[in-house]
Structure 1
């Protein structure tokens, strides 16, 4: 609590106090006795104020006493994910999770051909059968985590039926899962599908503590360790994505201390695609990049070589420097990032979005760098919600920052793949159909984490309740009340069985310059905390109330690489033009991508596909003044939709009104995409009118990157 200098001052003060006490008269001692309680309270307040500090991250020389984290020789981690089910989300996030449960992810077994149980290789004791690749574990990863977060007993039982079959499928040599992956067409194993299933098993172990999981994984990894190099990670997907395998190996090492796993970690890194190339990537597939750029940072835990950690940051910056000069946190790679396709009309897969969120959450825990928290929010609030219909019963493969249609038409070669990749369709888009479900459940499971110094950290702000062991081992509960990101205030109420000292960390986003903290109604001093953490160490008592205010301001961002265009944000939300939608429904079996497959009895009347076209002008420039700020803008809040999806044009609780002008020369291009942006500033003679901007994540059709028109007034 005190540094060495403070301790010396305290010793001197105690000695002087004893000396003075013995020189006092009896009357003076009585007066001092009466004043002592008040002096104690005042001194206690002073100590509490000194214990509110701003830090870059938690200390990295300690290990949490209550939750398994990196053991030697791995580098210490800043934050420790809590066991599945520890966090109970509320508010808008719970609404999103319940919509997911009632929507496509929760009912995909009624649709997907890959989830048919009859003759399914993932349910077979010997791994023989059909549908044995990534689709089942992709779906199960999101579905099971959703079940744990919602504590939904029916979903937990369903997830358990799949996991039990996986555990029963382990062979004598340690291999598990579909036999076709063990001996692929060239006779070498394809380890990629099992990497995803290992994620499912880790979450299951955190939720249940099932003692079978650890030896099951240990036997499988020993089988991997014994594979000859010539048969290890030889195929494209597994070689690109082996960082997922590495992550699970280090997770198990932390659980068991089995040092042979460290030899496997070295082997995996040696055979993984090289994500440590200066100014280059091993491939430019969008999901690979969003998922695999973290492999060097994962290996850094073992290597202790800062070069490894550097390349995770370098890969992240490289793809965004070349293809990500747009709002929303993602980059243009409508399958692969391609030279010459760098504008805001270039899209990203829904798979890429959820994998990026997961990578950010993992990196936040490993490094403690609040940058990853900011970026996860950027994707979660601004890119991901618009990839699905508001009721989450259909999704599309591709979503772009500037997107003026969502239909079944073929937009190639403007996008790389030929086919109906823009349509909202529950039957199509095979990988995203199964993988999208991980987005919100894993985000919800990362709202809170334990810290290396036995405290708690609020990392992503959302109404929730968390239970965790802290301090001296007591289980405490913290209730979080907020409408963030649609409001700036976050309130915490602590529930402790008895007074408990422990640190509580609050992440301060990089966009917030002046956070305000109040403890039990009293303001506390906070030094510059932008992009850092506020650490509050004190003895917490039942009912203590902590309030964090993150004041939001309107900001204009300039995208020089996009012909000097602009985007508008307010706090963590980027805003898009409010384009009215014309929605037409059709059978989801009518227009699908070539590899789509669904069950013969899937109800095409209950599950619909959606074509969305603009019903109002989209070719709008925003009007700025010569200083670069919007010429006129007003932020307006609306009643918060307690039980509705706030990421919709109808229910968005915050909107911006600004001045805009139509840009007649900005039109649809020959591929049916939003045409190239005109060079800003544009000179226009069209009338100036008020335009409405809604959160980018609420806009299925959207213009989030605008030309700029400058008024002379």
Structure 2
């Protein structure tokens, strides 16, 4: 859908407008209708997409079984007590759950919000396919909503919370006592109520949320600038985000004003200018703020482009400066010095809530722009962070995911933790289907390669996808229902595809009329039931390096991060304030280095990674060659690991060596080894020993990005049938210019698609990983020209 600014203008009047204008600046003069989205792409309804992959299905069912086992009365006990004038923190006999829902907790009540969001999504998915289960979910949801309404009705102000209102007074400095982050918890409650309304159709849920929006406005509109700054100095979750959602449903100007009060422009301004002011800040406090900023843009239109820019720049900064190979970020919940990632690897990295929220932000940016880079990140993080954070035997989820070698995942307990990441975990695995496919007005976008089904009700198109990554590089799409008119299907060309192998696509085994533009392979035709599209997306092992120690490496195969099991000896956890962390007790020996031998330098070993990390036939398992760990380390998909110690990153030891020149006719970007896009440079200099680094470690333009050579420009890739001096190397299939390209689509059997047009992709650091990737760098408003059958 093309972007446009609705001419409808909405204004605030009287004291409301005066207060908001004086304290926070007047609202933009052009305010779009809440019903007018600016997104280029739309999502499918949750009941239009089903995941059929067995591993994912198991996790989803385990998570739902856990959620259904929870007693809503115990989750609601604190709310009930407050409605009766009691303080759950010192009342007895309430039958509260433990952990963060216990009497001691100052975040008590946050779980009910996650519970409602997760249950509502599960209901929507199952409504048409499992009447018995969906009815059971609806019964619990309706009961929960009825109870919350009765508790809210007991308050003349519409207050609804599991702790007394004095918790908000303490944050404002108007009362003494203990408080933590009450606005954070309020965000979860309002968001959960909105989800129940949206996905279950419960009108009472919206009524409750609207009254909470009124209560929020009545309180926040009295803040002067100093008090507002004080309140916003305490974690408040995504209050702006949920209030913009609420405004779109209610059209209540007070809800819009309240949302804007929680817009932290003092943070958005430097970020929108590209300045990284994040070091030292609590990571998951910041991410939801920018989700809310993006939601303001979505809600009010392009007059609010400042907020879009802030969200986009924030996303770029986090990926460039603070992100590990899995797509996760943070150490001890905080952002640190840009690019200092090896120095921060330990047992408290990558809070799972951060990844939940980065995916939410990425999804919103993708819908707003259609830029495939957001889909690339979404896939990487969904697989290697979200799917990595759950125990597939019981649905329990992790708080931290250590990047330090030798640690393990510590999972929550069903009734005794209720960490924030247990809450977002409830949501994560009840929406595994929500970002596989998107659509425009006429086109279908296939973003992820996971066995699933899609029913595009509005267009009369249905399909079944069969994929088995990482065991297979093929994805097959069978059309099961089709309209009479043509439908265009756009298949994402992943950033991880093997550098010097062709991506192929066939329709019914024959040549296809396909084009490639903006990171998508496009097939448009009149479909018939039984038509089959087969994509071959070649995978290879790639090496990811950290910016502050390029000899600290991780291995990736296709979209999947690999880790090596390091045993189960004394897997003891210990408290980490209100959560838990893994330990390596004294006496447990962990080898976190890989020694390069057989006379090879580190550069030579990495450059020949295809022969030095070798796949076991028929398995997603890889073993080393030419190292001191050939017989001891086996690398497998990290997202499937949950019951042993592991290593994702290892430090290579040996002689650094020289940068390896181009071989085999595939010109890599500066600083890479033999395989295009496999690594960044190690490089020149003869340093030896653990963590040896050389002078070539960072390419021109790279600034703490986590990707060696970031910002450098490739030398004009040469591929099969394509030569050219176009900027960029050949990472993920980008590189050579159109000039001189040979049409391989005329063979009558397949079309081999690969390189993008000259200038389409630019070298950048993807996730700050150390993977040199070609960022799909088109301008939002300037579509790239497309081409047909350009050979790789």
Which position in structure 2 is the counterpart of 1:116?
Answer: 74
Asked whether 1:443 is paired with 2:385, we answer: no
SS of match in other structure, 1:569: strand
Distance 1:584 1:214, change over 3 A: closer
Which position in structure 1 is the counterpart of 2:309?
Answer: 310
Which position in structure 2 is the counterpart of 1:649?
Answer: none
Contact 2:453 2:464 in 1 (8 A): yes
Which position in structure 2 is the counterpart of 1:703?
Answer: 647
SS of match in other structure, 2:77: coil
Contact 1:396 1:425 in 2 (8 A): no
SS of match in other structure, 1:269: coil
Once residues 178 and 249 of structure 1 are traced to their aligned partners in structure 2, the CA distance between those partners, rounded to angstroms, is: 17
Which position in structure 1 is the counterpart of 2:327?
Answer: 329
- Indicate which of 564, 582, 587 corresponds to 1:577: 564
Asked whether 1:659 is paired with 2:647, we answer: no
Distance 1:405 1:217, change over 3 A: closer
Once residues 448 and 150 of structure 2 are traced to their aligned partners in structure 1, the CA distance between those partners, rounded to angstroms, is: 37
Superposition deviation, residue 275 in structure 1? 6.9
Contact 1:387 1:399 in 2 (8 A): yes
Distance 1:537 1:250, change over 3 A: farther
- Indicate which of 281, 285, 289 corresponds to 1:288: 285
Once residues 343 and 507 of structure 1 are traced to their aligned partners in structure 2, the CA distance between those partners, rounded to angstroms, is: 34
Contact 1:300 1:306 in 2 (8 A): yes
Which position in structure 1 is the counterpart of 2:473?
Answer: 488
Once residues 272 and 468 of structure 1 are traced to their aligned partners in structure 2, the CA distance between those partners, rounded to angstroms, is: 42
SS of match in other structure, 2:295: helix
Distance 1:214 1:78, change over 3 A: farther
Which position in structure 2 is the counterpart of 1:644?
Answer: none
Contact 1:174 1:221 in 2 (8 A): no
Once residues 141 and 545 of structure 2 are traced to their aligned partners in structure 1, the CA distance between those partners, rounded to angstroms, is: 46
- Indicate which of 139, 144, 161 corresponds to 1:178: 161
Superposition deviation, residue 333 in structure 1? 1.9
Superposition deviation, residue 243 in structure 1? 7.1
Once residues 383 and 622 of structure 1 are traced to their aligned partners in structure 2, the CA distance between those partners, rounded to angstroms, is: 29
SS of match in other structure, 2:650: coil
Which position in structure 2 is the counterpart of 1:646?
Answer: none
Distance 1:164 1:257, change over 3 A: same
Asked whether 1:694 is paired with 2:636, we answer: yes
Distance 1:263 1:228, change over 3 A: closer
Which position in structure 1 is the counterpart of 2:728?
Answer: none
Superposition deviation, residue 108 in structure 1? 4.9
- Indicate which of 376, 387, 393 corresponds to 1:391: 393
- Indicate which of 370, 393, 396 corresponds to 1:368: 370
Asked whether 1:251 is paired with 2:241, we answer: no
Which position in structure 1 is the counterpart of 2:296?
Answer: 299
Matches within 5 A, 1:92-103: 92-103=55-66
Matches within 5 A, 1:502-581: 502-512=487-497, 514-529=502-517, 532-581=519-568
Superposition deviation, residue 552 in structure 1? 1.4
Q: Higher relative contact order at CA 8 Å, sep ≥6: structure 1 or structure 2?
A: 1
Contact 1:491 1:548 in 2 (8 A): yes
Which position in structure 2 is the counterpart of 1:159?
Answer: 141
Contact 1:138 1:196 in 2 (8 A): yes
Q: Deviations over 1:15-58 (max 9, x none)?
A: xxxxxxxxxxxxxxxxxxxxxxxxxxxxxxxxxxxxxxxxxxx7
Distance 1:536 1:258, change over 3 A: farther
- Indicate which of 621, 636, 643 corresponds to 2:615: 636
- Indicate which of 590, 593, 596 corresponds to 1:619: 593
SS of match in other structure, 1:294: helix
Q: Deviations over 1:612-662 (max 9, x none)?
A: 9879854334675527424523553676xxxxxxxxxxxxx5122222645
Superposition deviation, residue 174 in structure 1? 7.3
Q: Deviations over 1:304-354 (max 9, x none)?
A: 354433332332343444443x31112232122345774333612232232
Once residues 317 and 198 of structure 2 are traced to their aligned partners in structure 1, the CA distance between those partners, rounded to angstroms, is: 35
Superposition deviation, residue 294 in structure 1? 3.1
Contact 1:357 1:443 in 2 (8 A): no
Distance 1:283 1:163, change over 3 A: farther
Matches within 5 A, 1:168-207: 168-171=150-153, 175=158, 177-178=160-161, 180=163, 182-184=165-167, 186=169, 190-207=182-199
Q: Which runs of 5+ in 1 are unaligned?
A: 1-57, 64-69, 408-421, 598-608, 640-652, 663-686
Distance 1:143 1:173, change over 3 A: same
Distance 1:628 1:526, change over 3 A: farther
Quick check: 424-433 or 440-449, which moved more? 424-433
Which position in structure 1 is the counterpart of 2:407?
Answer: 405
Once residues 580 and 291 of structure 1 are traced to their aligned partners in structure 2, the CA distance between those partners, rounded to angstroms, is: 37
Distance 1:62 1:493, change over 3 A: farther
Which position in structure 1 is the counterpart of 2:26?
Answer: none
Contact 1:569 1:575 in 2 (8 A): yes
Once residues 265 and 507 of structure 2 are traced to their aligned partners in structure 1, the CA distance between those partners, rounded to angstroms, is: 52
Superposition deviation, residue 392 in structure 1? 3.6
Distance 1:689 1:558, change over 3 A: same
Q: Deviations over 1:243-278 (max 9, x none)?
A: 733333443454565566544443432688657443
Superposition deviation, residue 97 in structure 1? 0.7
Contact 1:423 1:610 in 2 (8 A): no
Contact 1:654 1:694 in 2 (8 A): yes
Which position in structure 2 is the counterpart of 1:452?
Answer: 440
SS of match in other structure, 2:548: helix
Matches within 5 A, 1:37-116: 59-60=2-3, 76-91=38-53, 92-103=55-66, 105-109=67-71, 116=74
SS of match in other structure, 1:453: coil
Contact 1:505 1:534 in 2 (8 A): yes
Contact 1:275 1:295 in 2 (8 A): no
Once residues 181 and 522 of structure 1 are traced to their aligned partners in structure 2, the CA distance between those partners, rounded to angstroms, is: 67
Alignment TM-score, normalising by the size of structure 1 = 0.69
